[in-house]
Amino acid sequence: MTSYVNPHDFPPLKNNLILRAARGERIERAPVWVMRQAGRYLPEFRAIRAEQDFFKVCRTPSLACEVTLQPIRRYTGLVDASIIFSDILVVPQAMGLVVEMIPGKGPSFPAPLKTPEDMCRLSDNVDVEKELGYVCDAITLTRKELKGEVPLIGFCGAPWTLFAYMIEGGGSKFFTACKTWLFKYPKESKDLLQRISVVCADFLVAQVKAGAQLLQVFDSWAGELSPSDYREFSLPYCQFISSTVRVKLRELNIPEVPMILFAKGANWALEELVESAGYDVLGLDWLHEPDIARKRVGSRVTLQGNMDPNVLYGGKEAIERTVKQMAEAFKVNGSPDRWIANLGHGITPGVDPDDLKWFFECIHKYSYADTC
């Protein structure tokens, strides 16, 4: 069992900028990090992966810690958060499915769920602290090794996104198999989504117990659902996760941590997510116009994002120009309050690490409050 690690057992936090932004407190500039921050664009990461299987890195706390720390070392003083190196698909693994990472292809399920009868292959009661304790151990180790430089983010995938992977057997272009389930077997689909939700909530609570200071839920395929289908098959389960995590943390007398929801592609749902999803921060993909998004939500929630990751291939001039425009659009009356700077999706493998450094430097340059 993962025991609660008292914050006093970790080095004091030196940079709480992202926590303040997530909570809606005044900030002097926008905090910044990027999704897939620890990843294949870094040569030091590729050196480890050349010798280790992807999921071996995830399951070995010392390796997961090292990979998590790599961008923090490289961009020290520029990046305001770390995110534990893991994968959203460790949850289906914990539920009993085999997941492989195929070079050049990505994640693959050799035996995906074909029909509702296949749900009998899933574990009825998942002990996340047993099945996913390696993630918790990596979080605790990383918190210590960060020495308080920046906060550490824990995460999981959203139930709909995980559901889709578990049925499609990997990435998909048309999502035919998983949508067949939704429309042909709606009751069984909801049963599976609820089972995934319970595991996700327990997993996030375990990550906080181990030392995670923020949590993000990745609904990478939210945009593949129509508004009515999203309301039926995704939003309720994201709501379940946020409410359950908060209740369980209170029951354990553990301070709540800010929670982020990234519902990629569900741009139409912004107001509904603010009103009912139960998250402190909403991630935006690059199809949102930041100033319009801010007008839609006001100051009720912090927004995270949202530069197109491909701008990082455009050279320094394009990066600086885009960051400047983005900062101006996110600020309200010259203030960066309620904004966490990020990309609109994960960084891609071909990015030059120096171009990402320039992105961070430009965020520092242009996101300060106008009065500073």
Find out whether 69 and 145 touch, Cβ atoms under 8 Å. Answer: yes
Candidates 75, 165, 230, 279; catalytic one? 165
165 has catalytic annotation: yes
* Block residue for tokens 């390696």: 134
Chain-centroid distance of CA 103 in Å reads 23
d(CA 167, CA 46): 30
- Of the residues 20, 40, 296, 321, which is catalytic? 40
Burial class (CB in 10 A: 0-12, 13-18, 19+), 161: buried
Tokens of 79: 């990046």
Which member of 29, 36, 59, 195 is catalytic?
Answer: 36
C-alpha dihedral, 72 to 74 to 77 to 79, nearest 10°: -50
Known active-site residue 279? no
By C-alpha distance, which of 161, 283, 304, 154 is closest to 219?
A: 161
Calculate ∠ Cα 190-90-211, nearest 5°: 105
Crossing angle (nearest 10°) for helices 316-330 and 353-366 = 40
Catalytic site includes residue 59: no
List the catalytic residue out of 87, 219, 337, 355.
Answer: 87
Q: Which of 29, 41, 49, 337 is catalytic?
A: 49
Catalytic residue flag (residue 87):
yes
Residue 74 is among the residues annotated as catalytic for this protein = no
Catalytic residues: 36, 40, 49, 87, 165
